[in-house]
Amino acid sequence: MKQLSASEHSLVEPIDQAAMLAAVERWCAINSGTRNLGGLARQANELAQAFAALPGDVEMHDPAAVTAVDADGSEVELPHGMHLVVSVRPEARRRFLLTGHMDTVFPADHPFQSATWLDDDTLNAPGAADMKGGLAVILHALIAFEASPEAAKVGYDVMINADEETGSLSSAPLIAELAREKFAALTYEPSALPDGTLAHARGGSGNYSIVVTGRSAHAGRNPQDGRNAIVAAAEIAVVLKALSHDDLAVNPAKIEGGSANNVVPDHAVLRFNIRPKTTEAAAEFEKALAYLLSDIAERHDVAIHRHGGITRPPKPVDARAQKLFDLVADTSEALGRKLGWQASGGVCDGNNIAAAGVPVVDTMGVRGGSIHSADEFMIASSLSERAALSAVVLHRLATGETL
């Protein structure tokens, strides 16, 4: 373990726990569910003001166009909030990417809207762990890092998107652009476990909608003239489920369509999710799906339209990424907390960053738990703890640490 240097001690001592906590409590009082565009705008304004403390440009970026398939099979555009980017020293040769998200899973009409202290160090609040606490960690880690003379040697971008909880579809192009040629990346999802354990390798994720168009007919008079879209969709669902294996989980989730019981249904929409653990499994699935849809279309004499795909590629941990994990763990131990890691079935923007070939540790946020539920909690003391961890990691990367 590499002990903290005197300069590293001086970086972490001024980190302001009280200011961090006050910001998190204020941000958690703003409902910023992914579809609450007004709430997201308020949250983005708060963040823009806060991140103006850094020596860079703060800009808002328009979301990329995203469509979804409606129950009737038509594509509709999904509105999204704007994404915040802070760019510091873009001319530097060694640059980093730090990412977080301002959206939560709690819509404006969800009953979970206020904060409660469970004990002196545990705050139950919407988005406290996932990830408004993480946003405070980013800001205060960078404020601390900027006090180091070494900071002037490197640059970084901070991206805070408004749609991570729904797959980052409108921010994926922005993530890919910002990740290009970065030396390393840190993402501020909460720790995998309340003890600070990091998420290591991650599987991928894809969401699909399959629109099947058949031909209606009377179920009693001339059923032979009909082409049953529900039956075709059901067969696709059954075969898809059978494609599951150790490196791939397929979950047929919903079939919509049909009409009266005496009508052969001419319309169906099948929705399903896949979780490939490897890039090979993802590629094999795509080939199998193409063959399956072609076969069903021919045998059932129906038209099939596919929408969606893999939006979070699998995130293996290569040698450079492992060195970054080792650096984070070594630094954490020097600060007084041993850290381990474990593989995760969840996905996040770390998947997208790794797909760009950039080493990333994506659970640098606060310690907490029960995310995506009304029991979500943040361990308040982990705010300054994790800000110190990031500040020292960035300092070590800036002083020549290789990956």
Work out the pLDDT band at 58, boundaries 50, 70, 90.
very high
Work out the pLDDT band at 152, boundaries 50, 70, 90.
very high
273 closest CA partner among 309, 242, 245: 309
Residue-wise pLDDT tens digits, 2-18: 999 999 999 999 999 99
**pLDDT score, position 400:** 86
For CA atoms 380, 385, 391, 393, give the dihedral sign: negative
Q: Report the predicted TM-score, pTM, of the whole model to 2 decimal places.
A: 0.96
Is the pLDDT at 401 greater than 90, yes or no?
no
**pLDDT score, position 317:** 97
Name beta bridge partners: 69.
Answer: 75
Residue-wise pLDDT tens digits, 193-207: 999 999 999 999 999
2 closest CA partner among 301, 326, 365, 309: 326
Is the pLDDT at 132 greater than 90, yes or no?
yes
Is the pLDDT at 241 greater than 90, yes or no?
yes
Rg (Cα) of the chain, in Å, rounded?
A: 24
Strands 57-61 and 83-88: antiparallel
Is the pLDDT at 55 greater than 90, yes or no?
yes
Is the pLDDT at 101 greater than 90, yes or no?
yes
What average pLDDT does range 287-292 have in this prediction? 98
**pLDDT score, position 42:** 98
Percent of the chain exceeding pLDDT 70 equals 100
CATH class of the region 6-203+315-398: alpha beta
Name beta bridge partners: 249.
Answer: 275
Residue-wise pLDDT tens digits, 351-397: 999 999 999 999 999 999 999 999 999 999 999 999 999 999 999 99
Percent of the chain exceeding pLDDT 90 equals 99
Is the pLDDT at 210 greater than 90, yes or no?
yes
CATH class of the region 206-311: alpha beta
Cα end-to-end distance, the chain, whole Å:
17
170 closest CA partner among 231, 226, 103: 103
Burial class (CB in 10 A: 0-12, 13-18, 19+), 122: middle
Per-domain boundaries in the chain = 6-203+315-398, 206-311
Residue-wise pLDDT tens digits, 250-271: 999 999 999 899 999 999 999 9
What average pLDDT does range 21-38 have in this prediction? 98
Quick one: three-class SS letters along 87-109? EECCCCCEEEEEEEECCECCCCC
Alpha helix ranges (H) inside 301-366: 319-334, 349-355
Burial class (CB in 10 A: 0-12, 13-18, 19+), 93: exposed
Is the pLDDT at 68 greater than 90, yes or no?
yes
**pLDDT score, position 1:** 82
